[in-house]
Structures are given as structure tokens and as C-alpha cells.
């Protein structure tokens, strides 16, 4: 404990499990360098040993520590208290749109199941025994693929999207963003079936461009733009097919 | 005590580069196998492979060669590496990077003509580090993770391995005891083959870089199984970890090497440059030299308010710094520091653990059925790991382990019964804190971290190490008596803090003993009372055994001569 | 409103949806009134006369506003989905609202 | 493929309506400014194939567009699914199209 900390912060922390819960209030001493994750850690280490939460890398690389902070989804290890605190108050809740395991830790299974459903994995045509393909980093396809690639699967976008809340099947911004990146990867060979996967009932057309995903993504990715790309791609693919089947 | 029993052909512990590659390879080698992967966190979202910034060393550039990569690895490791392992590492890295690109979909940075970009990394005679910006690990682990998540394997996420279970006669490995962290229930997984890939991670130091889930569990479990651990004195420190106070988890996290390379200054508490007093290269000297210099400044009391030194970039022009290191500048800004225009406090920070289980080049151990790969395995790096060889090591040997385990498990059609006494004892041990009155686990942790930092850290001497050894025995006893304030086993982080600390203390004892036994200074190990490198021709490595059950100093350290199976000191493969 | 929704582009979505919903509710009424012309000019005239009252003027303003809002918002969405990405989404959303006010205001002034 | 069809139908109908809405608004301003009464409006529209087909297209587009828009809203805000959802959407479409076409029939005088 540092003695420079005179002020204290009132922190409301959601406690509970999949059956429901309520808020507990804690007083945490303020420090000059303090993230939301540090607040949660301080509570667990000093005030309530039973508090559950998740983190791993503590520097914004693993996407394990996302929570709702004053109602907004954030990576807590990289969110400085001063940036989000209002009137010395903080409210910390588990990430929205995912089932809670306990307190601040959610079950991310459905998030990754949807990643799979959107065929969010590469399928190449060459093997480990072949040379690496020369690909210009400035080609438009590669630029599009790169723009969407640095996702840390934190599910912050997923929590910010109301369509996910309203439509439990919706694949969600992260999975669709990954699919778009892959569609632009010239080495990938699964484009056709992936396109069908993202055009289904729960796919890209469900998105209403609410853009919470793009506003809150901590890595400043833009799933809205990616999803718009998929809408165009699925539509033109559909029209082309119809045209072909008419004129075959 | 109650536990559930499961069975599998291949059991993998950990989902870093090593664990995920093993899963992928085992499944491709024999899709009919029943493969289970158990992880302390979420699959692919914990561990250090994700945190790799700099990149991956591979001899793919025209003009480079596997031999040159090998020679750099050997001389970087101060002639202590197991040469066969190092060679296998350098050879297989080529295939692995092609596999990552062609089969898994990683995309490493390119030159304008489309060819792979190779960047310079300290300690190497050729630019051979492939990378994806300065977030290489995210690219590698994300691509691996999405491939593995699509496989039909059993995922046991948030399952912590507690003990490796031998058969009753102790001849082979029969399975692993785990605890489901979400429910607090125990599970025994009987397996024909087990891969230990829990990734070391020297988090027993006040300042450290690895992810919070790593606490040397794998090495602690190996010690209990009676396995020998080599090079345990070899802890790599990164010179510039962020220093932001004791109560923040940001402290210790890496500020990248490139900052010094680009011309950043290190300043003492008074704002004076000091590196030139230590080395003609100044701030651009190698990791170990800079770490020692900073540590010496700190010990001399010339520190900043938090007890470190400053890194200053502003003389290069804040705009240029912001343009060149956007990720670092943003990360510092999120933490409340201005890297581009101001000064940021830094401190050396424990980064990587070279030591580990003694293995063969195909990841087998002295215990049949147990395989070890990645940071848990010793030998590939010797006294020092080159930047860029860490992720190469975990992905190369993880893949090899997957192939080997699949082959072995496919041939074996029976499971072995684990020793029920070992199961009972391990459950009993892990339940200990629930039977004690609540105590202050924070103070035990703080003392361990300070102890290792002060006495078994960047600079070491016999007095300090011995002091630490005495204190560690006390800490161990105190931990045994320290109970938890919350007795619900469901997602109980405080319980896992206790278990982490228990592993860390057990391994710390071994680090201290190995450090005391090596009376010379090589690579990451620096003895102030024995500053000489010692004869290269007579190079030896340490092997430690320990019985953590016993109280007192129970570690036994032997020395074994390095077998120069490929090159001898003074020779080279490059002509 | 929940905090994660207090973000200009979410508000733009909500406005678009509510204006669309408003229009959808109004449309049958509109058709009904037009349909009155079937019964003869007199009924329609009576209605048109009734609709000259100030209150109805205001309602009319509201309708035109909703239509303009939805119209410009809809154009924004069509552009967002089908044209190269622009980072000025917030500006466009604001522009759509401003344009809607302008059109509806113009309508109101001229109609008096 | 249903979702793509519906998506396309909604966006294409929107694109069709865009110029028609402008036209309609323009006409309304003109009518109000010119102080046209019902008789004068009808005089101009009766028997006009142009106005008939233009407004006919408008009505079909707006019916498609609105029914599909409401379908989304019913699905997301009322959690309707399956038969209920599609029946209601069809109902909206048919209702709007019928009322709209009837009104046009009145305007153009084809009854
Ligand atoms: C900040 C940072 C930067 C780095 N940069 C580079 C670089 O640029 N280049 C380079 O080559 N190397 C770098 N390294 C080193 C590199 O990350 C490691 O060498 C390598 O990733 C280790 O891989 P691994 O698979 O052995 O372990 P990890 O990736 O650490 O994975 C260990 C896994 O085991 C799990 N685990 C731990 N304990 C248990 C248990 N008891 N039960 C079940 N599961 C458990 C963990 O949760 C995790 O999933 C860096 C390391 C750090 C920390
Ligand atoms: C004038 C041209 C119009 C354009 C360009 C337009 C455009 C759009 C677009 C692009 C959407 C899709 C929004 C989404 O799914 O996120 C939409 C939705 C909708 N529109 Fe229109 N529209 C127009 C006119 C109308 C009219 C006249 C009505 C009603 C009478 C209407 C009713 C609706 C409804 C109810 C929705 C659903 C809203 C939602 O899903 O959020 N629209 N419109
Ligand atoms: S797109 Fe952004 S917000 Fe969404 S999971 Fe990826 S990194 Fe997180
Ligand atoms: S928040 Fe949701 S609605 Fe679309 S733009 Fe993002 S996925
Ligand atoms: S702990 Fe890894 S992103 Fe926050």
C-alpha cells in the first residue's frame, strides 16, 4: 500500500453468477498509475479474496480482461482510472452479451463457436515444404486483409453490439471481421464456402451499422467496414450466380 | 477426496506456441486419436507466445544459412546450449515458418517486392527475424488458435494441472491431476502420452514480463516427479521494463528493445546519462550488459522516485518517436506516460527462463510417456536466449512433440493406472490453504519477489544467495500455514494465487541452488564474486534435482560437461 | 439510456429506426386519406381543409422531418455499405440530421 | 440465401424510392405553394399513365421496403421468429400495397 494515496475511489462491482447477482461497494485508494485491472486486483488482494475476474498478459495483447466499466466495454489492463472515473466513482460489470461464470468472468465459448461458424480459419493450397509466396504488401487485397487483422479476440465489439443482444445467433462483429480479412487473403482457398457461411440467417446482413464495434475496439479496428465489405461481396456474388444460372 | 476420471490418448498442458502446435500435429498425424488440451486460461489467450513482439528467427533470407543461425545461437548461449537441440531448432524453424505462412495463414511483414522482410535483432550476425510489425505473437497465436479451435478435440479451458501422475511402480507417466478452476472440482486425466508445455516464466521476480497465468507450475511438477532440470540459474532479464509503482500490473511489462536501438537515452534519477560509463556501445549494448548497468545504478541509489531509471526519447523529436513506435507510445499513454515527449521510468525485468526439463531432441524425457516442449524444456538456449529464438523454440519443438506423441499413442492400446497415493497427496496439498486460518498471502508474495530480485537477480554473490535460501525456507513454511479468506472453490483466484506462490517458491529454491553452484559468470548468470567466464573448453551445465516434500535445503545440483557434438569452442561452421 | 449506446453512430441508428417506424405507422393513414378521393372530391377536400389547422401543420412538419431524416440517414447507410469507407461517419450522421431539419423547416415555412 | 434476397430487396427498394421521395416532396411543395385543392390535383392526375405508373412503383417499393424494415424490428424488438414473423411481414406488405394501390387508383381514376 502506498502512503501517497490520500483519495479513495468508490467502486461498485457486480457479484454473482449465471443465475443473477448484485453490486458490492468497495473503497479503493487511488494511485497515480492505476488501471481498472489494478482496481479489481486490489479488491481481490486486499478487500474480498473471493472476487473472480480474468486477465493474462496485462498489456493489451491477450484480450482476456475486458469488462464493462461505467457501462462501456473496455480492456481493463490498458484503461487508466483517470480516463474513465467520474466523481470518484466506478462501476465494473462483466462483459455484456456473454454468459457469466462468476462475478467479472464470462464464458467466451459462444464467441469462439461463432468464429468457427464464420469459418474464421485460413485454408491454403501450399504446404510447409514450399516456399513462402511473394505478396506485395501494397496490393489493395492485402491492405484490406491487414486492416482487419490485428484482432485480439477480446469480445469488446461483441459486447457493444445490440444486434448480438437482440439476436442470439448473430455471428457478431469480430467473427465477421475475421471472415472479411480472410476473404481478402489471396492465399486462401475457402472463400466460396465462407461467403455462404457469413450470408446465412445470422450473418453479415443482420448488422445495422450501429458501429459500437468500431467505436470501442481497443485496437481501433473497424468491423463495420469489414461487414459492409461482406455485404457487398455476398450481394455481388449472389447476383453473379443468378445471372450465370439464367444464361448458362 | 472426490475426483472425476477421464481418459485420452494425448494430453497437452498449455496453449502457447508449443501446446497448440502439438495439438495440430498430433491431430494431423492421426485424426483418429483422442486429443485433450488443458489450459490454465482460455485456449490461445494466455501464456507468453501471444506477447511476442520482436519476431521469429529463421534462416530464410538469401545469403543466410541454418549453420549461421546455429552458430549465433551457440555463441549467444555462451557455448552452453545442447548442440543437437540447437541444430534441430535452426533446421526445423525453416519448415515451421513455411507451415505458419502456407498452412496456418500467418502473414509476416513483406518487403515492397513481396519477399519476406527480415529484421535485425541483437546478437545476430544476419538480419533473420521475421515479424508482423511489433505484434508478431498475436498473429502467430491467433492463427494457431483458430485452427486448433476448429479441430474435434477436448478442450479443458481454465483447468490447472496440479500434478504429473506416475504409474504405481513409478516407471511411466500415467496421467495428470487437474483442477477445474471454474468449479473447483478435481479431475484425473489418464493419458497414453502427456506434453508439458506450461511455458516456464520467471514471475518470482519483483519485476517480470510474462503473463500473469505463468508461475513455473510445469517445472515444479517435474521436480516432484523426480526429473532433473538443467540450466536453472539462467534467468534472462530484459533491460527496460515499465516502472509504474508496486500496485500496478503494468509494472515490469516490456518497453521494446528498438527504443534503445533507435537512439533512446537511459538517464539516472538526476537526469544524467550513465551507460557510457559501463560500455562503449552505450545504450545500444546487449541486454545483459544494459540490465547489469541499470541494476548497478539502482543499487548505488541514483534512482527515480519509484526506484528505477528513465528512458528518454524526446531528443529524437516527439513526432518521429510517435511515428516510429506507435504501439509503445500508445501503451505508455494508456498508462499515463508520455514516451514521445517526456521520460518514462524503467527497470530491468525478468523475461525468460532458459532452464528447464532435460529432454532429447524429439522432446522425450527420462519418464516414458512424458514429453516436454517450449519454455519448460531446457537445453536449446544454454546461458542466453537470442531474441527471436523463444517462439521458434516453442513452435518447433511443440510440433515435434505432437508428431512423436501421435506415433506413440497410436501404438499403445492400454492406459496405465496412476498411483492413487500420489493423487491423494497432491489433492491434499492443494487443499491445504482451505484448512488453515486466513493469512496474508500478499506479504509472502511481496517478500519472495523482493528476495529473488535483490539476492538471486541480475547480479548475484554467494552471501546474497545463501541469505535468500534461508529466507525461502521460512517463506515456504509460512505459506503452508497461510489460509484463504474465502473458502468457495469456484473461480477462486486467491486459491490460485496461493498455488502459484507454492510453485514459485519451489522453483526459486532450485534457481538459488543452481546459481550458487555455478562459480563463474556466463550469459544471463552473473556472479560478482566470480566475474570470469571460465574456460569455454570445460563448459558444463547444471542439473538440479529436488524433493519439495522435504523441508530445508533439499536441492541437489550436479554439473555435467557440455558435449560439443557439432562444434568446439574456437571452431565455426561458417567459413 | 445504457452507456454503450451513448455514441453518435448508435443514435444515428436509433433515429433511423424510429423514423422508419414512424413512417411505417403513418403510411397506412396517408393511403387512407388518399383513398378518400375514391369517395368523391368533397370528402378529400374536407380533410384537406381540416389539415390546414396549425396543429396539423405541426404534425405535417413532423412527418416531413421524419421522412427527411430517414431519407438522408438511408442515403448515408447506402453509401456506407456500398462505397469505399470514409472515416467521417459521424460528420455524415450529423449532416443527415441537419439536412432533415433544413428540409422540414423549409416545408413548414412555405406551407404557412 | 433468403437473407441476401431480403437484404437486396430492401436496399434496392430504398434506392428506387430515393428519387421518388424527392419528386413527391417537390410536388407537395408545389401543390401547397400553388394552393392546389383536391379537384385541381385530381384534374392533373386523372387518366395519366405516367403518374399512375410512377406512384405505382413508389407504392410497391415502399411496401416491400417497409414490410422488410418492420420484419427486422419485429424480429429484434419483439423477438418474433419463423411463421409468425413471415406471416406478419407478408401482411404488412399486402396491406400497404393494397391500400396504396387503391389510393392511386382513386387518384388516377381507374376505379
Ligand atoms: C513480453 C514478451 C515478449 C517476448 N518476445 C519474444 C520475441 O520477440 N521473440 C521470441 O522468440 N520470443 C519472445 N518471447 C518469449 C516467448 O514468448 C516464449 O519463449 C514462448 O512463447 C514460450 O512458449 P510456450 O508455448 O513454451 O509457453 P507459453 O506461450 O507461455 O504458454 C504456456 C501455456 O501453459 C499454460 N499453463 C501454465 N501453467 C499451467 C498449468 N499449471 N496447467 C495448465 N496450463 C498451464 C499457460 O496458461 C499457457 O497457455 C517473449 C516473451 C515475453 C513475455
Ligand atoms: C426515401 C428513401 C428511403 C431510403 C433511402 C431508406 C433507406 C433505408 C435503409 C438503408 C434501411 C435499412 C436500415 C438497416 O437495416 O439498418 C431502412 C430501414 C427502414 N425503412 Fe427506409 N428508406 C426510405 C424510405 C422509407 C419509407 C418511406 C419508409 C416507411 C414508410 C421506410 C421505413 C423503413 C423501416 C421501418 C425500416 C427499418 C428500420 C430498421 O431496421 O432499423 N423507409 N430504410
Ligand atoms: S475486433 Fe476489436 S473489439 Fe472486436 S474482438 Fe477484435 S480486437 Fe476486440
Ligand atoms: S455494433 Fe453491431 S450492428 Fe454492426 S456495425 Fe457493429 S456489428
Ligand atoms: S490482460 Fe491481456 S488484454 Fe488485458
- Each residue's pLDDT tens digit, B503-516: 999 999 999 999 99
pLDDT 10s digits, C70-80:
999 999 999 99
Instruction: Please give the residue range of the domain that contains residue B253.
Output: 239-349
Of B68, B96, B206, B260, the active-site residue reads B260
- Residue C41 vs residue D104, higher pLDDT: D104
Q: What is the mean pLDDT of chain D?
A: 89
Residue B303 lies in a domain: yes
pLDDT over threshold 80, residue A240: yes
Q: Is the dihedral of CA A152, A154, A160, A164 positive or negative?
A: positive
pLDDT over threshold 60, residue D110: no
pLDDT over threshold 80, residue C46: no
Residue B480 lies in a domain: yes
B238's enclosing H/E stretch is strand B235-242
- Residue B501 vs residue B124, higher pLDDT: B501
Q: What is the mean pLDDT of chain A?
A: 95
Three cell numbers at B480?
A: 503452508
Measured in angstroms, the CA of A5 and the nearest CA of chain C are apart by: 29
Q: Is B238 a catalytic residue?
A: yes
pLDDT 10s digits, B68-124:
999 999 999 999 999 999 999 999 999 999 999 999 999 999 999 999 999 988 888
Query: Which backbone phi and psi does A198 adopt, to 5 degrees?
Result: -90, -5
User: Which residues in chain A are closer than 8 Å to B159, comparing Cβ atoms?
Assistant: none
CA distance A174 to A247: 37
For the Cβ of A75 lying below 6 angstroms from any atom of ligand 5, the answer is yes
Cβ atoms of C38 and D110 closer than 8 Å: no
Measured in angstroms, the CA of D96 and the nearest CA of chain A are apart by: 24
Three cell numbers at B338?
A: 508520455
Lowest mean pLDDT segment, chosen from A16-30, B53-67, B377-391, C47-61: C47-61
Cβ atoms of B270 and B302 closer than 8 Å: yes
Specify the pLDDT at position A3.
Answer: 47
Looking at domain C3-111, which CATH architecture does it have? Up-down Bundle (1.20)
Specify the pLDDT at position C44.
Answer: 67
User: Which residues in chain D are closer than 8 Å to C41, comparing Cβ atoms?
Assistant: 38-39, 42
pLDDT 10s digits, B523-564:
999 999 999 999 999 999 999 999 777 655 689 999 999 999
Q: Return the residue in A32, A35, A57 with the most chain B beta carbons within 10 A, the one to mutate for interface testing.
A: A57
Name the β-bridge partners of B542.
B559
Specify the pLDDT at position B115.
Answer: 96
For A8-106, the fitting CATH number among 3.30.360.10, 3.40.50.720, 3.10.20.30, 3.10.200.10 is: 3.10.20.30
Residue with cell 534462416: B59
ipTM, 2 dp: 0.95
Q: Is A105 helix (H, G, I), strand (E, B) or coil?
A: strand
Q: Which domains does chain D have, with CATH numbers?
A: 2-108 (1.20.1300)
Average pLDDT over residues B450-472: 97
Specify the pLDDT at position D24.
Answer: 86
Supply the CATH number for residue B308's domain.
3.90.700.10
pLDDT over threshold 60, residue C112: no
Q: Return the residue in B37, B106, B114, B333 with the most chain A beta carbons within 10 A, the one to mutate for interface testing.
A: B114
Query: Residue A1's pLDDT band (boundaries 50, 70, 90)?
Result: very low
Average pLDDT over residues B397-412: 98
Specify the pLDDT at position B300.
Answer: 95
CA distance A171 to A178: 11
Indicate the pairing of strand A8-17 with strand A89-93.
parallel
Average pLDDT over residues A167-180: 97
Q: Which atom of ligand 3 is found nearest the CA of A216? A: 3
Q: Return the residue in A165, A171, A201, A205 with the most chain D beta carbons within 10 A, the one to mutate for interface testing.
A: A205
- Tell which of B349, B368, B401 closes a domain: B349
Residue B547: Cβ-neighbour burial (10 angstroms; 0-12, 13-18, 19+): exposed
pLDDT over threshold 50, residue D111: no
Residue with cell 498425424: B29
Per the structure, the count of domains in chain B is 2
Average pLDDT over residues B133-152: 96
Of D32, D104, D50, whose CA–CA distance to C64 is shortest?
Answer: D32
Tell me the pTM. 0.96
- Give B435's DSSP letter: G
Cβ neighbour number for residue B529 with a 10 Å cutoff: 12
Instruction: Delimit the domains of chain C by residue range.
Output: 3-111
Looking at all shown ligands, the one closest to residue A95's CA atom is: 3
pLDDT over threshold 70, residue D22: yes
Residue B503: Cβ-neighbour burial (10 angstroms; 0-12, 13-18, 19+): buried
User: Which residues in chain B are closer than 8 Å to A78, comparing Cβ atoms?
Assistant: 331, 334-335
Q: Is the dihedral of CA C76, C82, C83, C89 positive or negative?
A: positive
Query: Residue B291's pLDDT band (boundaries 50, 70, 90)?
Result: very high
CA distance B310 to B259: 12
Q: How many CB pairs under 8 A join C and D?
A: 75
| Residue A152 near chain B (CB below 8 Å) | yes
pLDDT 10s digits, D42-86:
788 888 889 899 999 999 999 999 999 999 999 999 999 999 999
| Residue A158 near chain C (CB below 8 Å) | no
Query: Residue A48's pLDDT band (boundaries 50, 70, 90)?
Result: very high
- Give B136's DSSP letter: H
CA distance A163 to A185: 27
User: Which residues in chain B are closer than 8 Å to A37, comparing Cβ atoms?
Assistant: 249
Choose among C2, C3, C9: nearest Cβ to A210: C9
Supply the CATH number for residue B472's domain.
1.20.58.100
Measured in angstroms, the CA of D91 and the nearest CA of chain A are apart by: 21
Lowest mean pLDDT segment, chosen from A189-193, B415-419, C108-112: C108-112
Measured in angstroms, the CA of C25 and the nearest CA of chain A are apart by: 21
For the Cβ of A73 lying below 6 angstroms from any atom of ligand 4, the answer is no
Identify which of B390, B495, B504 to mutate to test ligand 1's pocket (most ligand atoms within 8 A of the CB). Answer: B390
CA distance A155 to A164: 11
Ligand 2 centroid, distance to D68 Cα (angstroms):
9
Q: Is B349 helix (H, G, I), strand (E, B) or coil?
A: strand
Q: Which atom of ligand 4 is found nearest the CA of A160? A: 1
pLDDT 10s digits, B358-395:
999 999 999 999 999 999 999 999 999 999 999 999 99
Average pLDDT over residues A156-163: 98
Specify the pLDDT at position A2.
Answer: 44
Three cell numbers at B265?
A: 537515452
Q: How many residues does chain D have?
A: 111
Query: Do B343 and B437 have their domain in common?
Result: no
Of D45, D52, D60, whose CA–CA distance to D94 is shortest?
Answer: D60
User: Which residues in chain A are closer than 8 Å to B442, comparing Cβ atoms?
Assistant: 45-46
Looking at all shown ligands, the one closest to residue A64's CA atom is: 5
DSSP secondary structure string for all residues of A179-235: HHHHHT-TT---HHHHHHHHSSTTSGGG-----HHHHH-TT---HHHHHHHHHHHHH
For the Cβ of B181 lying below 6 angstroms from any atom of ligand 1, the answer is no
pLDDT over threshold 90, residue B23: yes
CA distance B399 to B139: 18
Average pLDDT over residues B438-443: 94
CA distance A96 to A123: 32
CATH 3.40.190.80 fits domain A109-246: no
Residue with cell 405535417: C60
Q: Do chains A and B touch by CB distance (3+ pairs < 8 Å)?
A: yes
Query: Which backbone phi and psi does A92 adopt, to 5 degrees?
Result: -120, 125
Average pLDDT over residues B334-344: 92
Quick one: what percent of chain B has pLDDT higher than 90? Answer: 92
Amino acid at each position: 500500500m502506498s502512503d501517497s494515496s490520500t483519495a479513495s475511489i468508490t467502486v461498485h462491482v457486480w457479484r454473482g453468477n449465471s443465475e443473477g447477482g448484485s453490486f458490492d461497494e468497495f473503497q479503493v485508494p487511488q494511485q497515480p498509475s492505476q488501471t481498472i485491472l489494478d482496481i479489481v486486483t486490489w479488491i481481490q488482494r486486499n478487500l474480498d479474496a473471493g472476487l473472480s475476474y480474468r486477465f493474462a498478459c496485462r498489456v493489451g495483447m491477450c484480450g482476456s480482461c475486458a469488462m464493462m466499466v461505467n457501462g462501456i466495454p473496455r480492456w481493463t489492463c490498458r484503461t487508466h482510472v483517470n480516463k474513465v472515473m467520474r466523481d470518484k466513482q466506478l462501476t465494473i460489470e462483466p462483459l455484456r452479451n456473454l454468459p457469466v461464470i462468476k462475478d467479472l468472468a464470462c464464458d467466451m465459448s459462444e464467441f469462439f463457436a461463432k468464429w468457427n461458424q464464420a469459418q474464421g480459419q485460413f485454408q491454403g493450397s501450399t504446404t510447409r515444404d514450399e516456399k513462402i509466396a511473394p505478396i506485395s504488401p501494397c496490393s489493395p487485397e492485402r491492405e484490406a486483409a491487414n486492416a482487419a487483422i490485428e484482432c485480439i479476440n477480446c469480445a469488446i465489439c461483441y459486447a457493444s453490439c445490440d444486434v448480438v443482444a437482440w439476436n442470439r445467433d448473430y455471428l457478431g462483429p469480430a467473427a465477421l471481421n475475421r471472415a472479411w480479412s480472410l476473404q481478402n487473403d489471396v492465399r486462401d482457398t475457402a472463400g466460396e464456402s465462407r461467403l455462404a457461411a457469413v450470408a446465412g440467417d445470422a450473418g453479415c446482413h443482420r448488422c445495422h451499422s450501429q458501429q459500437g464495434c468500431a467505436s470501442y475496439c481497443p485496437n481501433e479496428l473497424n468491423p463495420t467496414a469489414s461487414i459492409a465489405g461482406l455485404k457487398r461481396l455476398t450481394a455481388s456474388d449472389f447476383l453473379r450466380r443468378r445471372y450465370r444460372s439464367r444464361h448458362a | 477426496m472426490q475426483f472425476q476420471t477421464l481418459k485420452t490418448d494425448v494430453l497437452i498442458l498449455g496453449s502457447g506456441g508449443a501446446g497448440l502446435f502439438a495439438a495440430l500435429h498430433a491431430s494431423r498425424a492421426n485424426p483418429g486419436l483422442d486429443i485433450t488440451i488443458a489450459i490454465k486460461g482460455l485456449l490461445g489467450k494466455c501464456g507468453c507466445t501471444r506477447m511476442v513482439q520482436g519476431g521469429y528467427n529463421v534462416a530464410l533470407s538469401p545469403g543466410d544459412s541454418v549453420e549461421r543461425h546455429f552458430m549465433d545461437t551457440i555463441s549467444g548461449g555462451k557455448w552452453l546450449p545442447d548442440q543437437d537441440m540447437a541444430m534441430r531448432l535452426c533446421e526445423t524453424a525453416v519448415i515451421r515458418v513455411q507451415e505458419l505462412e502456407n498452412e496456418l495463414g500467418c502473414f509476416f511483414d513483406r518487403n515492397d517486392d513481396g519477399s519476406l522482410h527480415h529484421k535485425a535483432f541483437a546478437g545476430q550476425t544476419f538480419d533473420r527475424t521475421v515479424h508482423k510489425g511489433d505484434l508478431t505473437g498475436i498473429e502467430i497465436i491467433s492463427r494457431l488458435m483458430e485452427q486448433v479451435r476448429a479441430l474435434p478435440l477436448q478442450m479443458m479451458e481454465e483447468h490447472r494441472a496440479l500434478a504429473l501422475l506416475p504409474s504405481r511402480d513409478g516407471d511411466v507417466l500415467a496421467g495428470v491431476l487437474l483442477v477445474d478452476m471454474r468449479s473447483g472440482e478435481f479431475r484425473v486425466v489418464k493419458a497414453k502420452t502427456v506434453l508439458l508445455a506450461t511455458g516456464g516464466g520467471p514471475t518470482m521476480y519483483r519485476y517480470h514480463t510474462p503473463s500473469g497465468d505463468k508461475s513455473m507450475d510445469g517445472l515444479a511438477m517435474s521436480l516432484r516427479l523426480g526429473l532433473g532440470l538443467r540450466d536453472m540459474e539462467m534467468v534472462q532479464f530484459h533491460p527496460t521494463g515499465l516502472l509504474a509503482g508496486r500496485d500496478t500490473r503494468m509494472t515490469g511489462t516490456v518497453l521494446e528493445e528498438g527504443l534503445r536501438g533507435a537512439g533512446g537515452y537511459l538517464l539516472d534519477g538526476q537526469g544524467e546519462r550513465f551507460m557510457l560509463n559501463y560500455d562503449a556501445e552505450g545504450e545500444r549494448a546487449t541486454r545483459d550488459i544494459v540490465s547489469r548497468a541499470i541494476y548497478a545504478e539502482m543499487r548505488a541509489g541514483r534512482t527515480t522516485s519509484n526506484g528505477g531509471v528513465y528512458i528518454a526519447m524526446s531528443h529524437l523529436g516527439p513526432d518521429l518517436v510517435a511515428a516510429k513506435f506507435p504501439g509503445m507510445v500508445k501503451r505508455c499513454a494508456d498508462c499515463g506516460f508520455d514516451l514521445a515527449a517526456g521520460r518514462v521510468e524503467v527497470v530491468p525485468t525478468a523475461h525468460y527462463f532458459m532452464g528447464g526439463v532435460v529432454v532429447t531432441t524429439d522432446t522425450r524425457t527420462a519418464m516414458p510417456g512424458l514429453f516436454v516442449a517450449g519454455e519448460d524444456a531446457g537445453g536449446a538456449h544454454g546461458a542466453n536466449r537470442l531474441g527471436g529464438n523463444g517462439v521458434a523454440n516453442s513452435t518447433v519443438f511443440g510440433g515435434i512433440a505432437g508428431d512423436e506423441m501421435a506415433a506413440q499413442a497410436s501404438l499403445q492400446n492400454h492406459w496405465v493406472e496412476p498411483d492413487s497415493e500420489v493423487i491423494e497427496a497432491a489433492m491434499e496439498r492443494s487443499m491445504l490453504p482451505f484448512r488453515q486460518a486466513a493469512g496474508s498471502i500478499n506479504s509472502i508474495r511481496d517478500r519472495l519477489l523482493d528476495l529473488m530480485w535483490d539476492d538471486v537477480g541480475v547480479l548475484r554473490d554467494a552471501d546474497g544467495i545463501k541469505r535468500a535460501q534461508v529466507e525461502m525456507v521460512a517463506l515456504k513454511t509460512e505459506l503452508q500455514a497461510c489460509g484463504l479468506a474465502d473458502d468457495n472453490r469456484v473461480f477462486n483466484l486467491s486459491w490460485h494465487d496461493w498455488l502459484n506462490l507454492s510453485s514459485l517458491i519451489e522453483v526459486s529454491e532450485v534457481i538459488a541452488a543452481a546459481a550458487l553452484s555455478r562459480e563463474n559468470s556466463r550469459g544471463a548468470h552473473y556472479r560478482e564474486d566470480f566475474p570470469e567466464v571460465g574456460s569455454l573448453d570445460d563448459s558444463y551445465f547444471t542439473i538440479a534435482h529436488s524433493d519439495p516434500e522435504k523441508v530445508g535445503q533439499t536441492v541437489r545440483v550436479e554439473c555435467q560437461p557440455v558435449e560439443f557434438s557439432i562444434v568446439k569452442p574456437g571452431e565455426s561452421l561458417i567459413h | 439510456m445504457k452507456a454503450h449506446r451513448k455514441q453518435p453512430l448508435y443514435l444515428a441508428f436509433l433515429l433511423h429506426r424510429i423514423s422508419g417506424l414512424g413512417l411505417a405507422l403513418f403510411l397506412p393513414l396517408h393511403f387512407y386519406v388518399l383513398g378518400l378521393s375514391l369517395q368523391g372530391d368533397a370528402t378529400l377536400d374536407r380533410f384537406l381543409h381540416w389539415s390546414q389547422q396549425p396543429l396539423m401543420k405541426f404534425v405535417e412538419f413532423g412527418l416531413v422531418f421524419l421522412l427527411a431524416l430517414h431519407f438522408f440517414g438511408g442515403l448515408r447507410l447506402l453509401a456506407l455499405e456500398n462505397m469505399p469507407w470514409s472515416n467521417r461517419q459521424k460528420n455524415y450522421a450529423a449532416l443527415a440530421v441537419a439536412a432533415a431539419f433544413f428540409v422540414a423547416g423549409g416545408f413548414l415555412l412555405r406551407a404557412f | 440465401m433468403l437473407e441476401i434476397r431480403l437484404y437486396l430487396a430492401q436496399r434496392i427498394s430504398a434506392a428506387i424510392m430515393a428519387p421518388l421521395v424527392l419528386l413527391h416532396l417537390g410536388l407537395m411543395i408545389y401543390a401547397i405553394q400553388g394552393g392546389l385543392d383536391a379537384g385541381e390535383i385530381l384534374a392533373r392526375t386523372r387518366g395519366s399513365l405516367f403518374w399512375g405508373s410512377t406512384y405505382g412503383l413508389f407504392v410497391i417499393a415502399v411496401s416491400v421496403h417497409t414490410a422488410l424494415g418492420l420484419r427486422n424490428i419485429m424480429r429484434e424488438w419483439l423477438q418474433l421468429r419463423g411463421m409468425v414473423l413471415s406471416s406478419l411481414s407478408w401482411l404488412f406488405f399486402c396491406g400497404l400495397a393494397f391500400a396504396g394501390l387503391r389510393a392511386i387508383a382513386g387518384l388516377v381514376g381507374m376505379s
